[in-house]
Amino acid sequence: MKTCWRHRALIGALVTRQLNARYRGSILGFLWTFLNPIFLMLIYALVFRVYMRFDMDHYPAFVFAGLLPWIWFTTSMSEGTNSLIANGNLITRAMFPPEILPVVAVIANLMNFVFTIPVLLVVFLISGIPFGWQLAWLPVIVAIQCIFTLALTFLFAALNVPFRDVQHLLTNALTFWFFLCPILYPLERVPDILKPVALGNGMGTLVTSYQNIFVHQQGPGIAALFAMLFGSLLLLVLGDAVFRHYRDTFAEYL
């Protein structure tokens, strides 16, 4: 992490480049940052609210509040895991620090998440959901998710270089993980015996925290949130250790 701090200017430049390149050549360009999650929200709302007759107040806003952080997480994981292989020409340069590539993926998608928060607030205004003091928890939840995502991204990015199956396994794991999290359904609908699974998978705690402060107008589960922080810090230590273990072999595999 010290290496990342020393090269923070380079990280900023690469984040800017990635954001500019993401929608280059498309007609709507940066608007897709807002349109993609809106389309997903509308699709899920249509399927669950109209076709499956899922009865819940403010359901589109509920889905949107969980979907945005999930998109940040899953896109960061996918791009970050593949970042070392995709930039093999940089890794093979003796002076280039590979640690910064997973960080760039997470921060670039964090910026997309931040840019979509105003859209989320507009959805709440349209839905008639008021804003309360609970929104003060937002920076805390975002910071914990950032640590959690960085930790996993470091871990999987390092493992993906010698073991290329990791990125394919991750794609399927993320799909399964999505349905484990209470994004499309409220936690109250989960049987008591399965609630530890819904909340104990990391993103489940974070998703419900976002939904609590935005939709339910209540604070997050503080004990669970800070347990998540402690676990994320331990996971970051593990991810950093694994990354440093494989670091000197990256050029050999690439």
Q: What is the pLDDT of residues 25-58, one digit of tens each?
A: 666 666 777 777 778 777 877 777 666 566 777 8
Q: What is the pLDDT of residue 167?
A: 92
Give the Cα separation of 77 and 135 in Å (integer).
26
Q: Which residue spans within 8-161 are E strands per DSSP?
A: none
Question: 242 exposed, middle or buried (CB, 10 Å; 0-12, 13-18, 19+)?
Answer: middle
DSSP per-residue codes, 204-238: HHHHHHHHHHHTS-S---HHHHHHHHHHHHHHHHH
Q: Which position has the token pair 């359901």?
A: 59
Q: Domain range for residue 38?
A: 2-253
Q: Can you give the length of the chain in residues?
A: 254
Mapped onto helix, strand or coil, the DSSP state of residue 105 is helix
Contact 232, 147 (CB under 8 A): yes
How confident is the model over 160-183, as pLDDT tens digits?
Answer: 999 999 999 999 999 999 999 999
Task: In whole angstroms, give the CA distance from residue 120 to residue 95.
Answer: 42
Q: What's the pLDDT at 128?
A: 81
The pair of structure tokens assigned to 114 is 């931040």
Cβ atoms of 65 and 195 within 8 Å: the answer is no
What is the C-alpha separation between 201 and 221, in angstroms, rounded? 15
* pTM, full prediction: 0.90
Task: Write down the pLDDT at residue 57.
Answer: 77
Q: Which residues of the chain have pLDDT under 50?
A: none
Domain count, the chain: 1
Please report the pLDDT score of residue 110 as a whole number.
95
Q: What is the pLDDT of residue 37?
A: 79
Residue 101: CB partners within 8 Å, gap ≥ 6?
A: 14, 80, 83, 84, 87, 90, 157
Model pLDDT, residue 56: 74
Confidence (pLDDT) at 82: 94
Burial class, 105, CB count within 10 angstroms (exposed 0-12 / middle 13-18 / buried 19+): buried
Query: Sign of dihedral through CA atoms 163, 147, 117, 204?
Result: positive
